[in-house]
């Protein structure tokens, strides 16, 4: 009988222990003190040497954690208990975080280096007057392709080139509802933020006719697979494209004429931050032209820092595929926060498209 | 007095069941009746019966049956041969060791092996055959899944074959039964329980496979597991995710009923 009681107690203790661990896990992330800052960023999205340089210059230690999706980051910050001083979400997530009152306003007087940012990237609809966020990187969604593996007449000036019968089973798509549905909407000349069931229906029907050309709908594996020429064509973000092209020189990148997505990742300071001054110091440090230039060359995405462009390798800066001129940029659209209901609908239609691939 | 003796030992077991089986399932059922704003609704169930989800359930089921069938087809003879070898436990261990390696690592290895420029296509091209598309096909999906499940299927079958009294087989042969009849009337009925356990540990996880569907099948195969992952992580619709999970649990219960242990004896 005694061992039975012990066993029962053990189970109850286990439950309490699990609850405690879950609580700790949610609260982990960040120590929160004056001489450290905690940064929450995408994986491989900063030059690690710069973190060391920042600590040398300011004496502030950096704790660095990474996430792999806006949604995962948002969930963790929403739960509370975290003390991240800096996070780097994308624009539609920033909009959501502002709505939910999760962000600390940014004091522009503490960030003198803001003057180096191209005004084109400031005061955007998702965060008017940059009250809560400061630009970090930007990029586009487009098509990476290997010209040697496809017929000459396919140039990807139009999204509709993806539907060409010569591309049978040669196309990878990135596994994202907004990217793929957005591509479909763009291909019929509509906005990639459309909230119209009829349009989404029409786009899904059109996407279904693309299915013979699809080789796979995958995530980050797309980078090594394209480097190995496993497929000829891939729909992906400009930064992944830059990664692929630095390893496989045959590849090229194009943003079709009908328009595409223009995205931004910005610095924000969550409400729960403990070292507000340190966070400002870090943002200011990262906007320094030399630092921004070094970071942009390491990461491969496009920097919004005008002064940094002047000191970067001209070959990178003049590459119109990654730094498109303004008339092309004007055709690009920024994702709006659709709200969970419409995000759900985009996902349902995307699922229907995925089901059609055989 | 007799009652207390009978019920006492049950308490830890009941606690365990309550906290780790009943409570999680109750939570799933509860969440499945909430919409995006946390209000009570049956909309999720209605949506599950739309053509997209019904088709997905059927394909999941279909692939799980195929995977289980091929796993059994390979595992039964393999387990049979193993029991006849000299160092049978050593051989069994060699087959089980790969299951200690992380599933994702094995899956990534297959991406390399099956690639257009991978070793299989290199061998094929020696014979002058053009490179074949192996990755992102039904074949690669089923092959990798079967490979992953074989150790789980072999263990219960091996155990039941190992326990089989060899004198029964000898008796059948002495009484004039052909090898096939011996197998059909003696060996198979006596090892059916092992086969059933093997089917359970293969079929049920096969229904909810999810990473492999993206890495090996490139999302050309969508299982219920993939849909649950998407609903929770991307659409952030916990209600719909839970609803799919409820149906997954129901399908599992049904498959348990079919493969469950029946009363001993019966037809021989």
Helix ranges, A28-107 (H): 48-58, 70-79, 91-99
User: B268: pLDDT confidence band, cut at 50, 70 and 90?
Assistant: very low
- Long-range contacts of the stretch A152-161 (C-beta < 8 A, 24+): A155/A254, A156/A254, A156/A256, A157/A254, A157/A256, A157/A257, A158/A187, A158/A256, A158/A257, A158/A258, A159/A183, A159/A186, A159/A187, A159/A256, A159/A258, A160/A187, A161/A256
Write out chain B residues lying below 8 Å of A351, CB-based. 52, 56, 222, 227, 230
Task: Kindly state the tokens that stand for A77.
Answer: 């910050």
Chain center to CA of A200:
23
Write out chain B residues lying below 8 Å of A179, CB-based. none
Cβ-nearest to A230 among B11, B115, B217:
B115
Q: Is pLDDT larger for residue A203 or for residue B127? A: A203
Looking up tokens 């003190």 gives A33
- Residues A82-97 have a mean pLDDT of 91
Q: Does B115 touch chain A (CB under 8 A)?
A: yes
Q: Is pLDDT larger for residue B31 or for residue B261? A: B31
Pairing of strands A61-67, A36-42: parallel
Same domain, yes or no, for A146 and A249? Answer: yes
Share of chain B above pLDDT 90, in %: 54
Provide CB contacts within 8 A for A284, sequence distance 6+.
A110, A111, A112, A113
Predicted local distance difference test score (pLDDT) of residue B3: 52
Same domain, yes or no, for A216 and A351? Answer: yes
Same domain, yes or no, for A65 and A158? Answer: no
Angle between helices A340-355 and B224-233 (to 10 degrees): 160
Same domain, yes or no, for A106 and A226? Answer: no
CATH class of the domain comprising B51-259: mainly alpha
User: A190: pLDDT confidence band, cut at 50, 70 and 90?
Assistant: very high
CA distance B240 to B261: 33
Strand partners, A263: A139
Q: Does B58 touch chain A (CB under 8 A)?
A: no
- Residues A306-311 have a mean pLDDT of 93
- Residues B192-211 have a mean pLDDT of 90
Whether residues A8 and B116 touch (CB distance < 8 A) is answered with no
To the nearest whole angstrom, how far is the Cα of A342 from the nearest Cα of chain B?
9
Share of chain A above pLDDT 70, in %: 97
| ipTM exceeding 0.90, yes/no | no
Q: Does A355 touch chain B (CB under 8 A)?
A: yes
Range of the domain at A310: 30-138+264-324
Query: What rounded mean pLDDT belongs to chain B?
Result: 88
Q: How many residues are given for chain A?
A: 358
Q: Does A9 touch chain B (CB under 8 A)?
A: no
Asked if the model's pLDDT at residue A127 lies above 80, the reply is yes
Q: Give the Cα-Cα-Cα angle A61, A65, A69 (nearest 5 degrees).
A: 150
Whether residues A8 and B12 touch (CB distance < 8 A) is answered with yes
Predicted local distance difference test score (pLDDT) of residue A183: 95
Same domain, yes or no, for A237 and A290? Answer: no
Q: Where are the domains of chain B?
A: 51-259
User: A25: pLDDT confidence band, cut at 50, 70 and 90?
Assistant: low
Whether residues B234 and A71 touch (CB distance < 8 A) is answered with yes
**What confidence tens digit (pLDDT) does each residue in B213-235 have?**
989 998 888 889 888 988 887 78
- Long-range contacts of the stretch A98-103 (C-beta < 8 A, 24+): A98/A127, A98/A132, A99/A337, A101/A271, A102/A77, A102/A78, A102/A270, A102/A271, A103/A132, A103/A133, A103/A268, A103/A269, A103/A270, A103/A271
User: A315: pLDDT confidence band, cut at 50, 70 and 90?
Assistant: confident
| Minimum mean pLDDT range among A346-350, B131-135, B184-188 | B131-135
B106, B150, B153, B186 from B73: Cα distances, Å: 22, 10, 10, 19
CA distance A83 to A29: 6
Write out chain A residues lying below 8 Å of B59, CB-based. 355
For CA atoms B70, B76, B79, B85, the dihedral sign is: negative
Tell whether A235 is covered by a domain: yes
Query: What rounded mean pLDDT belongs to chain A?
Result: 90
Whether residues B222 and A175 touch (CB distance < 8 A) is answered with no
Write out chain A residues lying below 8 Å of B36, CB-based. 340-341, 344
Write out chain A residues lying below 8 Å of B15, CB-based. 8, 11-12
Q: Is pLDDT larger for residue B128 or for residue B180? A: B180
Residue pair A279/A273 in contact (Cβ under 8 Å)? The answer is yes
Tell whether A18 is covered by a domain: no
Same domain, yes or no, for A148 and A222? Answer: yes
Whether residues A357 and B135 touch (CB distance < 8 A) is answered with no
CA proximity to B215, closest of B93, B105, B85? B105
Cβ-nearest to B52 among A4, A221, A355:
A355
Write out chain B residues lying below 8 Å of A343, CB-based. 234-236
User: A188: pLDDT confidence band, cut at 50, 70 and 90?
Assistant: very high
Q: Does A164 touch chain B (CB under 8 A)?
A: no
Predicted local distance difference test score (pLDDT) of residue B265: 44
What are phi and psi for residue B2, nearest 5 degrees? -60, -40
Tell whether A287 is covered by a domain: yes
Query: In sequence order, what DSSP letters do the residues of A5-43 get, joined into one string?
Result: HHHHHHHHHHHHHHHHHHHHHHH-S----TTEEEEEEET
CA distance A293 to A113: 13
Predicted local distance difference test score (pLDDT) of residue A255: 92
Q: Is pLDDT larger for residue A79 or for residue B187? A: B187
Strand partners, A254: A143
**What confidence tens digit (pLDDT) does each residue in A140-167 have?**
999 999 999 999 999 999 999 999 999 9
Q: What secondary structure letter does DSSP report for A143?
A: E
> Is residue A45 part of an annotated ligand binding site?
no
Same domain, yes or no, for A307 and A345? Answer: no
Share of chain A above pLDDT 90, in %: 64
Task: Kindly state the tokens that stand for A354.
Answer: 């995925």
Same domain, yes or no, for A35 and A117? Answer: yes
Pairing of strands A133-145, A61-67: unpaired
Cβ-nearest to A347 among B116, B117, B235:
B235
Predicted local distance difference test score (pLDDT) of residue B12: 87
Write out chain B residues lying below 8 Å of A356, CB-based. none
Tell whether A16 is covered by a domain: no
Chain A nearest-CA residue for B13: A8
Share of chain B above pLDDT 70, in %: 94
Asked if the model's pLDDT at residue B2 lies above 60, the reply is no
Q: Does A131 touch chain B (CB under 8 A)?
A: no
Whether residues A340 and B235 touch (CB distance < 8 A) is answered with yes
CA distance A130 to A337: 17
To the nearest whole angstrom, how far is the Cα of A120 from the nearest Cα of chain B?
30
Whether residues A4 and B12 touch (CB distance < 8 A) is answered with yes
Strand partners, A144: A234, A253
Whether residues A71 and B36 touch (CB distance < 8 A) is answered with no
Predicted local distance difference test score (pLDDT) of residue A30: 47
Asked if the model's pLDDT at residue A303 lies above 60, the reply is yes
User: B4: pLDDT confidence band, cut at 50, 70 and 90?
Assistant: low
Q: Does B5 touch chain A (CB under 8 A)?
A: no
Tell whether A96 is covered by a domain: yes
Residue pair A199/A349 in contact (Cβ under 8 Å)? The answer is no
Same domain, yes or no, for A349 and A205? Answer: yes
Write out chain B residues lying below 8 Å of A172, CB-based. 218
Asked if the model's pLDDT at residue B263 lies above 50, the reply is no
Tell whether A109 is covered by a domain: yes
Q: Is pLDDT larger for residue B117 or for residue B3? A: B117
Write out chain A residues lying below 8 Å of B117, CB-based. 228-230
CA proximity to A306, closest of A124, A119, A147? A119
CATH of residue A214's domain is: 3.40.190.10
Q: Is pLDDT larger for residue A236 or for residue A31? A: A236
Cβ-nearest to A217 among B117, B218, B227:
B218
Cβ-nearest to A351 among B8, B218, B227:
B227
User: A104: pLDDT confidence band, cut at 50, 70 and 90?
Assistant: very high
- Residues A125-143 have a mean pLDDT of 93
Tell whether A187 is covered by a domain: yes
Structurally, chain A folds into a number of domains equal to 2
Q: Is pLDDT larger for residue A173 or for residue A25? A: A173
């Amino acid at each position: 009988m005694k061992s039975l009681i012990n066993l029962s107690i053990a189970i109850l203790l286990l439950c309490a222990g699990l609850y405690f661990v879950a609580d700790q896990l949610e609260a982990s992330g960040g120590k929160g003190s004056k001489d450290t800052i905690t940064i929450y960023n995408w994986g491989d999205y900063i030059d690690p040497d710069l973190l060391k340089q920042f600590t040398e210059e300011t004496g502030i230690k950096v704790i660095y954690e990474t996430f792999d999706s806006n949604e995962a980051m948002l969930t963790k910050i929403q739960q509370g208990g975290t003390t991240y001083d800096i996070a780097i979400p994308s624009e539609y997530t920033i909009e959501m975080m502002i709505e939910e009152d999760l962000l600390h306003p940014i004091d522009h007087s503490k960030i003198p280096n803001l003057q180096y940012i191209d005004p084109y990237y400031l005061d955007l609809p998702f965060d008017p007057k940059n009250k809560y966020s400061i630009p970090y990187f930007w990029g586009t969604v487009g098509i990476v392709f290997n010209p040697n593996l496809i017929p000459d007449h396919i140039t990807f000036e139009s999204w509709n080139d993806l539907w060409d019968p010569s591309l049978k089973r040669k196309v990878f798509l990135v596994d994202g509802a907004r990217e793929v549905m957005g591509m479909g909407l763009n291909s019929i000349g509509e906005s990639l933020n459309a909230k119209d069931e009829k349009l989404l229906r029409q786009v899904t029907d059109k996407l279904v006719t693309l299915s013979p050309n699809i080789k796979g709908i995958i995530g980050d594996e797309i980078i090594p697979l394209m480097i190995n020429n496993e497929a000829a064509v891939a729909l992906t973000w400009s930064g992944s494209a830059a990664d692929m092209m630095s390893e496989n020189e045959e590849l090229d990148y194009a943003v079709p004429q009908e328009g595409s997505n223009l995205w931004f990742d910005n610095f924000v300071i969550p409400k729960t931050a403990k070292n507000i001054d340190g966070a400002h110091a870090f943002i200011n440090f990262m906007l320094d032209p030399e630092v921004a230039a070094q970071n942009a060359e390491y990461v491969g995405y496009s920097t919004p820092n005008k002064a940094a462009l002047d000191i970067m390798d001209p070959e990178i800066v003049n590459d119109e595929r990654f730094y498109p001129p303004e008339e092309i940029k004007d055709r690009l659209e920024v994702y709006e926060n659709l709200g969970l209901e419409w995000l759900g609908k985009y996902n349902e239609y995307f699922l229907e498209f995925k089901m059609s691939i055989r | 007095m007799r009652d207390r003796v009978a019920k006492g030992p049950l308490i830890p077991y009941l606690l365990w069941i309550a906290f780790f089986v009943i409570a999680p399932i109750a939570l799933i059922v509860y969440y499945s009746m909430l919409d995006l704003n946390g209000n009570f609704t049956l909309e999720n169930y209605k949506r599950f019966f739309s053509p997209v989800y019904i088709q997905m359930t059927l394909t999941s089921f279909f692939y799980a049956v195929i995977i289980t069938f091929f796993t059994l087809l390979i595992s039964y003879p393999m387990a049979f041969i193993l029991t006849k070898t000299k160092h049978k436990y050593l051989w069994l261990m060699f087959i089980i060791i790969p299951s200690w390696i992380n599933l994702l690592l094995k899956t990534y290895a297959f991406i390399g092996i099956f690639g257009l420029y991978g070793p299989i296509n290199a061998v094929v091209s020696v014979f002058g055959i053009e490179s074949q598309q192996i990755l992102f096909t039904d074949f690669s999906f089923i092959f990798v899944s079967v490979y992953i499940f074989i150790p789980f299927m072999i263990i219960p079958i091996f155990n039941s074959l190992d326990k089989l009294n060899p004198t029964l087989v000898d008796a059948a042969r002495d009484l004039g039964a052909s090898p096939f009849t011996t197998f059909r009337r003696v060996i198979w009925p006596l090892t059916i329980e092992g086969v059933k356990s093997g089917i359970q540990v293969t079929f049920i996880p096969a229904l909810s496979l999810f990473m492999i569907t993206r890495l090996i099948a490139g999302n050309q195969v969508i299982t219920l597991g993939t849909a649950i992952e998407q609903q929770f992580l991307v659409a952030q619709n916990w209600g719909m995710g839970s609803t799919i999970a409820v149906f997954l649990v129901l399908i599992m219960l049904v498959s348990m009923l079919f493969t469950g242990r029946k009363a001993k004896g019966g037809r021989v």
